[in-house]
Amino acid sequence: MTQQKQTAEAEIRSLIDAWADAVRRQDYPGVLAHHDQDIVMFDVPPPLQSRGLDEYRKTWDLFYSCYRPSHAFNIEEIAITAGDDVAFAVMVMRCGPPDATFQFRLTIGLRKVDGDWRITHEHHSVPATD
């Protein structure tokens, strides 16, 4: 792996860790900090699709009404693939206290804009049950 790819992956991991930490602290500016104005998100609860930063922000109101922020968004597995200006990260995450069983999948798409990584797409999902 080239040094440039290692650097990009480390930058993205740091961005994702800061985002998850902001979620746990219910820090809206931190949650939104690295998201593109035109983000598209597919989520588990309705609305299934959100377009733009304003709609994305509103999804957090629903989330915070259901989960204690300090018990949310723990990254259990992560894999990051980064190119020069496009990257994605795939994760298995957990919501709830440490003994909780609610796991979900998260895929994040990023683009490098003016030298900074911006989250342009999020896709949250859970396995189908039947």
Q: Does any domain span residue 116?
A: yes
Residue 124, number of CB atoms within 10 A of its CB: 19
Q: Which residues span the domain enclosing 36? A: 3-125
For the record, the structure tokens of 5 come out as 């790819």
For the record, the structure tokens of 20 come out as 């998850």
Residue-wise pLDDT tens digits, 7-28: 999 999 999 999 999 998 999 9
Q: Does any domain span residue 38?
A: yes
Mean pLDDT of 112-126: 94
Say which residue, 89 or 1, is predicted with more confidence: 89
Q: Tell me, yes or no, if the pTM score tops 0.85.
A: yes
Residue type, 99: D
Residue-wise pLDDT tens digits, 43-72: 887 878 999 999 999 999 888 887 766 667
Indicate which CATH number applies to the domain containing 37: 3.10.450.50
b (16+ CB within 10 A) / e for 9-33: bebbeebbeebbebbbebeeebbbe
Domain count, the chain: 1
Check residue 57 and give its pLDDT: 95
Q: Does any domain span residue 130?
A: no
